Amino acid sequence: MPTTLLVWFRNDLRIRDNEILHEAAQRADRVLPVYCFDPRHFAKGRWGFDKTGPFRAQFLIESVADLRGSLQERGTDLIVRQGPPEDVIPELVKAHDVTGVYVHKEVGTEEEDVEQAVEQALAPTDAVLQYRWGKTLYHADDIPFDTDGIPKVYTPFRKKTEKQASVRATFPAPDALAPLPEGLDAGAIATVEGLGLKPAAIDDRAVLDFTGGETAGLERLQQYIWQQDLLKKYKKTRNGLLGADYSSKFSAWLAHGCLSPRTIYEEVKRYEDERVSNKSTYWMIFELIWRDFFTFITRKYGARLFYQSGPMNRAIDWDENPEAFERWATGTTGFPFIDANMRELNRSGFMSNRGRQNVASFLSKNLNLDWRLGASYFEAKLLDYDVGSNWGNWAYNSGVGNDPRNRYFNILSQANRYDKKGAYVKHWLPELQELPADKVHTPWELSDSEKSMYGLHGGGYPEPMIDLEASYERLRNG
């Protein structure tokens, strides 16, 4: 009797360094690769924002299509269904005598709920859900901590992990796979409209023309590291705001699993051997360990990561002010540095790390609004949304997470430091185009005649929504 194993793809939309695909292909005569467009991912979240907005939905669709193409090249196909995995998977298991289901373990309460639902739905069958770990650079079994013992702070996590663990080698992609059973309909890939979303085109001003899928992810890796030779100066450029080159832009491919962190690691090591090894090459690995940290933190704190008091259980008296939130979300706060970043997010699904830190600090510290509104909004908009990196960073920047210092950003100093000439602000706020560099971050200081001269009269740009200094005074007094 030929054996059939089912490979359930989720945030691991790749054929290279994919342990579940590799192992199932080794063990079984036939593999059923499955992807489910789960309607829960396209519903509204608790605060009324899309769980997945159109930019990420489009990226996901492209990633699924690319995976299907790679599987077809190897002789099989990707079975695509629209429905909850706990309905789809047991049906396929029963219809095709599947003896085991392979899946990569996720973190995050919603993700784990689905795993449990699938386990339960499989209970009456002979197939067992088999978990493998494939999300992080360091394997969950190799880090020198058990889940409860993950340090609260990044540095001890990184230092001990680097000292005591090593990164496992990547798995090769399978060469060939047996075709799907005859008569089994592979199914159509969803469309953005079919998922109930209104398609939206990414603005031409975006940092990159992001295309989903392993093929495009590997191309970006080649381009960033090898063709453009950018890795050797990453540490110096990574706080940039404009264009494709200041940082790797790997995040959307990592979030969907089109690229694995170990694949990036191997390329960094090869680059270090063949070209140059310096602080910048190491810093890429350093940042990937941040990603690991937030993944393991998410695993450790479970539902607490999503509580108002965050993983550190800090009670903060947040204000409720829907109008203020709306101005933050739409990039109409009257503070150009915040507005430019929010408009970039809204129009392209991307924002630099520097921008993310500043807008998060502005929402939670200057406006004193519940940080979870911001995190949920980012969840809807980001191309690279990842449960741990998003909620972990938001909690961190809002004073309820894993930042031992509980800092806030001075947005004007940040703007003057990282956007000295105002080029970034002008890129996303063309209404400020005519302003000289020393005025672009503080247009409220312009006299009436200057406003006229620079074309800012008649509602060209909003007045600041708060007294910034007063908000810093409040923060300083604690």
Ligand X SMILES: Cc1cc2nc3c(=O)[nH]c(=O)nc-3n(C[C@H](O)[C@H](O)[C@H](O)COP(=O)(O)OP(=O)(O)OC[C@H]3O[C@@H](n4cnc5c(N)ncnc54)[C@H](O)[C@@H]3O)c2cc1C
**Binding footprint of ligand X on the chain (CB under 6 A):** 238, 247-251, 254-255, 284, 287-288, 290-291, 294, 352-353, 356-357, 360, 378, 382, 384-386, 389-390, 393-394, 397
Smallest distance, ligand X to C-beta of residue 309, A: 18
Smallest distance, ligand X to C-beta of residue 181, A: 37
Smallest distance, ligand X to C-beta of residue 436, A: 30
Nearer to ligand X, 267 or 384 (CB): 384
Smallest distance, ligand X to C-beta of residue 279, A: 14
Smallest distance, ligand X to C-beta of residue 202, A: 16
Q: Are 254 and 261 in contact (CB under 8 A)?
A: yes
Nearer to ligand X, 122 or 375 (CB): 375
Nearer to ligand X, 93 or 351 (CB): 351
Phi and psi at 175, nearest 5°, equal: -75, -45
Smallest distance, ligand X to C-beta of residue 374, A: 7
Nearer to ligand X, 74 or 249 (CB): 249
Nearer to ligand X, 424 or 461 (CB): 424
Smallest distance, ligand X to C-beta of residue 249, A: 4
| Contact residues for 199 (Cβ-Cβ < 8 A; gap 6+) | 54, 58, 192, 193
Nearer to ligand X, 76 or 298 (CB): 298
Give the total residue count for the chain: 478
Nearer to ligand X, 187 or 388 (CB): 388
Question: What type of residue is 243?
Answer: G
Q: What is the distance between the alpha carbons of residues 472 and 296, in angstroms, rounded to a whole number?
A: 33
Q: Which of 383, 346, 341, 343 is nearest to 359 (CA)?
A: 341
Q: What is the distance between the alpha carbons of residues 398 and 361, in angstroms, rounded to a whole number?
A: 6
Smallest distance, ligand X to C-beta of residue 72, A: 29
Smallest distance, ligand X to C-beta of residue 65, A: 22
Smallest distance, ligand X to C-beta of residue 117, A: 24
Question: What type of residue is 179?
Answer: P
Nearer to ligand X, 130 or 353 (CB): 353
Nearer to ligand X, 285 or 465 (CB): 285
Nearer to ligand X, 86 or 106 (CB): 106
Nearer to ligand X, 249 or 262 (CB): 249
Nearer to ligand X, 187 or 310 (CB): 310
Using DSSP bridges, classify how beta strands 128-132 and 79-82 pair: parallel, antiparallel or unpaired. unpaired
Smallest distance, ligand X to C-beta of residue 126, A: 38
Smallest distance, ligand X to C-beta of residue 247, A: 3
Using DSSP bridges, classify how beta strands 98-104 and 4-9 pair: parallel, antiparallel or unpaired. parallel
